[in-house]
Amino acid sequence: MSYTPIVPPARFRLSDAVCQQLEQLIVDGTLRAGQSLPSERDLAQQLNVSRPSLREALLRLEGSKLIQGKTGGGYVVADPSAPLIAEPLAHLMARHRKAASDILEMREGLEAVAVELAAVRATKSDIKNIKAALDALEVAFQQDDPYAVTTGQTSLPLLDAAFHLQIAEATHNIVLVHTMHGLHNLVQRSIEETYSAFEKRDADLSHLMQQHRRIFDAIQQHDPAAARNALVTHLTFIRENATR
C-alpha cells in the first residue's frame, strides 16, 4: 500500500489534506475494513507531513468512526457496514413466507446488478476469490451428509452467503458493497431457511450447486447477461421450491 506525499496547499491545513486522502482510499475500497494503517511514524513519512498534523487527522477520522484504535496502539479501518437489520429481526423475517418472498425480490434486484457488474469488472484476483468461495461451498456439499454440516465455518448456508458476498466485492462499487455487507445477516438467514426447507423435503442440493457454478462461470467469462440469467434462475428456483 503506497500513499501520496502531501504538498501543503495554500490556506489549507495539512490535517485536512491527510483526512481527504485517507477518506478517499476508504471510499474507493483501497483501504478495506479491518486493514491496519501503518505506524504513525511510517505513515507520516509516506505522507510527508508532521506527526502532529497526522495525529490530528487520525483523531478526526476516529471521531467520524472511519478508523478505530487497536489494542496495543495503531489504527485499523473501521467497518462502516454495520448490519442494517438486527439479527433477531433478520431471523424472524426469513422464517415467514411473505417476508421470505420479499427478501428474494430484494436479493434479485441487488444481486442481479451485482453479478452483472462483477462480470464486467472482476479482476483476476476477484475471480480467484469467488472461485475459492465456490470451492469451499462445493467441498462442504460433497460430504457424506451435507445437511449435517450446519455449524462453524463449514456451514453450507454460511459458505453460500459468503459466495454471494464475494461477488458483491467484485463489483468495485463501494456503495453496493457496503449495502450488501449491511444486509448480510438478513441474506444469510434467508439462505439458512432455504437449506432448512430443502432438508425437510430431503431435496437434492446438487441443483443449487450447479446454479452457483453457472453464476461463477458467467462471471469468469465476463458475460453480464449470462450472469444475470443464472442469478435469476437460481433465485426463481429457490422461490418455487423453498418458500411455498
pLDDT digits (tens, 9 = 90+) for 150-176: 545 558 899 999 999 999 999 999 889
Average pLDDT, the chain: 85
pLDDT value, residue 31: 84
- pLDDT (mean) for 95-114: 87
Distance CA 189, CA 192 (A): 5
pLDDT value, residue 109: 94
pLDDT value, residue 82: 59
pLDDT value, residue 101: 82
* CB-CB neighbours of 42 under 10 Å: 11
CATH code for the part of the protein at 14-77: 1.10.10.10
Report whether 94 contacts 190 (CB < 8 A).
Answer: yes
The fraction of the chain above a pLDDT of 70, given in percent, is 85
Full-model pTM = 0.73
Is residue 10 pLDDT above 70, yes or no?
no
Report whether 94 contacts 107 (CB < 8 A).
Answer: no
pLDDT value, residue 243: 64
Is residue 141 pLDDT above 50, yes or no?
yes
pLDDT value, residue 68: 87
CATH 1.10.274.10 fits 87-242, yes or no: no
Report whether 127 contacts 220 (CB < 8 A).
Answer: yes
Out of 82-86, 87-91, 107-111, 119-123, least confident range: 82-86
Burial 56-82 (b: 16+ CB within 10 A, else e): bbbebbeeeebbeeeeeeebbbbeeee
- pLDDT (mean) for 184-190: 87
Distance CA 60, CA 34 (A): 18
For the chain, which residues make up each domain, given as ranges? Answer: 14-77, 87-242
Q: In this predicted model, what pLDDT tens digit does every residue of 193-219 receive, in sequence order?
A: 888 888 888 778 889 999 999 999 999
- pLDDT (mean) for 129-151: 81
